[in-house]
A and B are shown apart, each in its own frame.
Chain A
Amino acid sequence: AQSVTQLGSHVSVSEGALVLLRCNYSSSVPPYLFWYVQYPNQGLQLLLKYTSAATLVKGINGFEAEFKKSETSFHLTKPSAHMSDAAEYFCAVSKPTLYSNYQLIWGAGTKLIIKP
């Protein structure tokens, strides 16, 4: 069975500091991996995704993530945090289903807090 673990329900960093949000997955088949962001009182939007091409994936707003098969990780990073990055971030892995091979398994989310 596939699963996703996000370490830390809350992460606090200073403005300008490195952002590191951790995601580990388990999957019996080669996974597709996603990071989504949710700003307060909004729906989720895609930050970036890994679909078995380059292991270092660049997304929107200066975020990137590296797929490490040996560590079963897909951590999200940004070199310098901005106040506008304050949001909740979700990691997800795809899972095969009856009709298609598309069902996302979600992590519990990590709330990123930016200190001025």
Chain B
Amino acid sequence: NAGVTQTPKFQVLKTGQSMTLQCAQDMNHEYMSWYRQDPGMGLRLIHYSVGAGITDQGEVPNGYNVSRSTTEDFPLRLLSAAPSQTSVYFCASSYSTASSYEQYFGPGTRLTVT
């Protein structure tokens, strides 16, 4: 199993540009989520999905869109990039939506918005 994969690893955008961060998992996990990690703030949940066709907002959803058309893929779209979206983005997945299950993380995408 490749686990959770994310592309690209690094990205530089100009303010106002849009892009999609890709996330895929091959473990048939039901639950997937996107986090951003900023220094001294831990991880903050952007959006999550409990199955194909079902998504919901997390703590910091503004400026981001998601969709989940398949179990495997959960892309994150930045609609109009802003410098405040400079961060490291992690995708994670979990076998179950039950709260006792661990999350598996991708290696991250480091995004800089100038």
Taking beta carbons and an 8 Å cutoff, which residues of A are in contact with B?
4, 9, 32, 34, 41-46, 49, 51, 90, 94-104, 106-109
Whether the pair B106, A99 counts as a contact (CB closer than 8 A) is no
Query: CB-CB < 8 A to A43: which residues of B?
Result: 4, 90, 92, 105-108
Q: What's the dominant secondary structure at chain A's contact region?
A: loop
Minimum CB–CB distance for A70 against chain B, Å: 22
A44 and chain B: residue at smallest CB distance: B105
Q: List 11 A-B contacts (CB under 8 A).
A: A41-B107, A42-B107, A45-B105, A46-B102, A51-B100, A90-B42, A94-B100, A100-B97, A102-B97, A102-B99, A103-B48
Query: CB-CB < 8 A to B104: which residues of A?
Result: 45
Whether the pair B102, A34 counts as a contact (CB closer than 8 A) is yes
Q: Give the interface size bracket for B toward A.
A: 20 to 34
Query: CB-CB < 8 A to A106: which residues of B?
Result: 42-44
Whether the pair A108, B107 counts as a contact (CB closer than 8 A) is no
> A43-B105, A90-B43, A102-B94 provided; 19 other pairs, C-beta below 8 A?
A42-B108, A45-B104, A46-B102, A49-B100, A49-B102, A99-B54, A100-B97, A100-B98, A102-B98, A103-B45, A103-B48, A104-B43, A104-B45, A106-B42, A107-B42, A108-B40, A108-B41, A108-B42, A109-B42
A47 and chain B: residue at smallest CB distance: B102
Whether the pair A101, B43 counts as a contact (CB closer than 8 A) is no
Minimum CB–CB distance for B28 against chain A, Å: 17
Q: CA separation between A27 and B44, bound complex, in Å?
A: 18
Q: CA separation between A104 and B58, bound complex, in Å?
A: 10
A43 and chain B: residue at smallest CB distance: B105
Query: CB-CB < 8 A to B108: which residues of A?
Result: 41-43
Whether the pair A44, B98 counts as a contact (CB closer than 8 A) is no
Query: CB-CB < 8 A to A44: which residues of B?
Result: 43, 90, 92, 103, 105
Whether the pair B31, A100 counts as a contact (CB closer than 8 A) is yes
Q: CA separation between A67 and B48, bound complex, in Å?
A: 28
Whether the pair B58, A103 counts as a contact (CB closer than 8 A) is yes
Let me know if B56 is at the binding interface, CB within 8 A: yes
Minimum CB–CB distance for B52 against chain A, Å: 13
Minimum CB–CB distance for A51 against chain B, Å: 4
What 6 A-B pairs are tightest by C-beta distance, nearest first? A43-B105, A100-B97, A94-B99, A106-B42, A102-B99, A46-B102
